Amino acid sequence: MPGGADTLRESLTGDVLTPADHEYEKARLCFNLLVDRRPAVIARCVDAGDVATALAFAQSEGLEIAVRGGGHNPAGHCAVDDGLVIDLTRMRNVEVDPEARVARSQGGTTWLDFDAATQQHGLVTPGGVVGSTGVTGLTLGGGIGHLTAQHGLTCDNLIGAEVVTPAGEVVRAGEDGDPELLWGMRGGGGNFGVVTRAEYRLHPVKRIVGGRFDYEGEAVRDALRAFRDADAEAGEEISLQCQLSSKENLTPTLVVTPCYTGPNSDTEELRALRAAPGLVNDGVREQTFLDQQLIFDPGYGVDRNYWKGHFVTGLPDELIDILVDSLAALGRPAGAILIESLRGGPKDVDPASAALGYREAAFNISVMADWTDPALDEESIAWARSTAAAIEPWSVSGGYANYMQADEPLERVRAAFGRDNFARLRALKSRYDPDNVLRRNQNIPPAQT
Ligand SMILES: Cc1cc2nc3c(=O)[nH]c(=O)nc-3n(C[C@H](O)[C@H](O)[C@H](O)COP(=O)(O)OP(=O)(O)OC[C@H]3O[C@@H](n4cnc5c(N)ncnc54)[C@H](O)[C@@H]3O)c2cc1C
């Protein structure tokens, strides 16, 4: 592409980075250090026109395209060796219409940007639990977080979008545009175009009862049972998720993060979790929703990660024992196991309104190997794979596209939608991206290939 970057630079309102630019090294970095790629050019777009220009430039130069929002995807889909990155990190504006209870966010917005803007009006949409994650990227795969029980998946609250197709056309997804495209974007990932603006339904939420309960030691098994039982009994005013891990000396630990939005701060579920064995820290109290969104704040681009998991029908005692025992399998802390409840909101929605197919599941369980030394790559990846394999007997609806690595076979991607929805997604893909230009994602091949 000799000299090509200069041509792009001239036609873009945003800026263009190549390996010669000092900001390049930071801009190419993925959340997951296991993925280390060197794009030929990074186009930092500022509007839909820039995105169309970058798409056209990449195709005319024969460059493979990656799309970058928050850079969090564990598969590292936001970076491509020798290709072009459509970087949306300069497109992070959020407009809130408090009367209509609608937010419009640009394609590179993060949850920190989004929540800060909507909370000024005491409003919220259910999102992810880490502030630096991209809003659009998370939405396109579903979206599970602190308000899932109350308000459903993030994609259930997506009501419209402006999308730039690989052909450079600006189209509208939604009831006032293409409803089929909106259906596909609810779970089908970044397969159909680059989303430059997305619109979300908002809900009133300001103060919540949340924070974290920390448990330690062998009693963690019983604490996890208490979490499961509390979740089974809970209503839709409380969302629950938890994370198993271990200390340096391999003592198991559990963090439970409730988020309660009802009027009674002393609920039965919170009492049960407070009384569960192994509690070493009770950090659950009334706080702002913005404080709740700061519970988890991992560093960006500091660890190597390999994630694999399953949606499951339940959390029987046998599975709990398998999960807790797996924490010590490597003789060193191996990472974490995230358990997210899908009770409530996701099940209140008409399943036909979205492409994704995992609403029936009780929980999403993700094994998250996490390490820093490249020499540990092989055994860490093997740990995530073997622990996920042990969960498989309870699996339903495949795995969560948002947490998948790039090595997932097509069957697993298909299973996340079901056969009929996958065929419908392939038909949609062939309408919007017949040449599979946007393939750096959990890919849906166009129908004719
Ligand atoms: C620390 C961490 C915490 C997380 N927490 C949660 C959570 O609480 N809940 C949850 O459900 N998921 C969570 N995730 C998973 C996350 O939702 C997905 O990995 C998602 O793909 C990240 O989006 P991104 O924009 O940050 O990532 P990127 O790597 O920038 O983008 C991933 C892919 O999404 C697509 N994409 C992104 N933006 C656009 C756009 N504007 N238009 C078209 N396509 C686009 C592209 O295909 C892109 O390659 C978390 C991930 C991490 C690493």
SS3 state of residue 247? coil
User: Which residue stretches of 313-394 are H helix?
Assistant: 317-326, 345-348, 377-391
Please classify residue 263 by burial: count the beta carbons closer than 10 Å to its beta carbon, then call 0-12 exposed, 13-18 middle and 19+ buried: exposed
Distance CA 107, CA 224 (A): 37
pTM above 0.85, yes or no: yes
Indicate whether residue 77 lines ligand 1 (CB < 6 A).
yes
Q: What pLDDT was estimated at residue 449?
A: 53
- Residue ranges of E strands in 45-143: 65-68, 84-87, 94-97, 102-106, 123-124
Whole-angstrom CA distances from 182 to 139, 191, 194, 250, 282 are 11, 12, 13, 45, 41
Distance CA 388, CA 267 (A): 33
CA-nearest residue, atom 33 of ligand 1: 137
| Residue 339 backbone zone (phi > 0: left; psi -120 to 50: alpha; other: beta) | beta
State which ligand 1 atom lies nearest to the alpha carbon of 438.
47
CA-nearest residue, atom 39 of ligand 1: 137
Q: What pLDDT was estimated at residue 144?
A: 98
Distance CA 315, CA 39 (A): 42
Best of 28, 46, 85, 138 to mutate for ligand 1, by most ligand atoms within 8 A of CB?
138
Best of 140, 404, 440 to mutate for ligand 1, by most ligand atoms within 8 A of CB?
140
Indicate whether residue 140 lines ligand 1 (CB < 6 A).
yes
Indicate whether residue 137 lines ligand 1 (CB < 6 A).
yes
> How many whole angstroms from 426 Cα to the centroid of ligand 1?
21
Q: What pLDDT was estimated at residue 413?
A: 85
Which DSSP helix (H) or strand (E) runs through 112? helix 111-119
Best of 77, 133, 242, 368 to mutate for ligand 1, by most ligand atoms within 8 A of CB?
133
Phi, psi (rounded to 5 degrees) for 316: -65, 160
State which ligand 1 atom lies nearest to the alpha carbon of 110.
26
Indicate whether residue 194 lines ligand 1 (CB < 6 A).
yes
CA-nearest residue, atom 44 of ligand 1: 190
> How many whole angstroms from 69 Cα to the centroid of ligand 1?
7
Beta-carbon contacts of residue 179 (< 8 Å; ≥ 6 apart): 173
Tokens 């994609």: give the residue. 155
Indicate whether residue 402 lines ligand 1 (CB < 6 A).
yes
CA-nearest residue, atom 23 of ligand 1: 137
Q: What pLDDT was estimated at residue 315?
A: 98
Q: Point out which residues pair with 85 in neighbouring strands.
A: 42, 66
Distance CA 202, CA 156 (A): 11
Query: Sign of torsion, CA 254 292 316 332?
Result: negative
Beta-carbon contacts of residue 114 (< 8 Å; ≥ 6 apart): 94, 103, 105, 125, 127, 135
Indicate whether residue 252 lines ligand 1 (CB < 6 A).
no
Q: Taking the CB of residue 140, how many other CB atoms lie within 10 A of it?
A: 29
> How many whole angstroms from 301 Cα to the centroid of ligand 1?
14
Q: What pLDDT was estimated at residue 1?
A: 62
pLDDT digits (tens, 9 = 90+) for 263-295: 988 899 999 999 999 999 999 999 999 999 999
Q: What pLDDT was estimated at residue 28?
A: 98
Indicate whether residue 83 lines ligand 1 (CB < 6 A).
no
CA-nearest residue, atom 19 of ligand 1: 73
Short-list 60, 68, 2, CA closest to 35: 68
> How many whole angstroms from 402 Cα to the centroid of ligand 1?
6
CA-nearest residue, atom 52 of ligand 1: 72
Best of 67, 171, 181, 297 to mutate for ligand 1, by most ligand atoms within 8 A of CB?
67
Structure tokens at 166: 């690989």
CB of 336 closer than 8 Å to CB of 243? yes
> How many whole angstroms from 266 Cα to the centroid of ligand 1?
34
Q: Which residues of the chain have pLDDT under 70?
A: 1-3, 449
Distance CA 361, CA 306 (A): 23
CA-nearest residue, atom 8 of ligand 1: 128
Q: What pLDDT was estimated at residue 69?
A: 98
> How many whole angstroms from 138 Cα to the centroid of ligand 1?
4
Q: Point out which residues pair with 201 in neighbouring strands.
A: 102
Indicate whether residue 78 lines ligand 1 (CB < 6 A).
yes
Binning the chain into helix, strand and coil, the percentages to the nearest 5 are 30, 25, 45
Q: What pLDDT was estimated at residue 177?
A: 97
Indicate whether residue 28 lines ligand 1 (CB < 6 A).
no
- Tell me the residue type at 371: W
In angstroms, the first-to-last Cα distance of the chain is 29
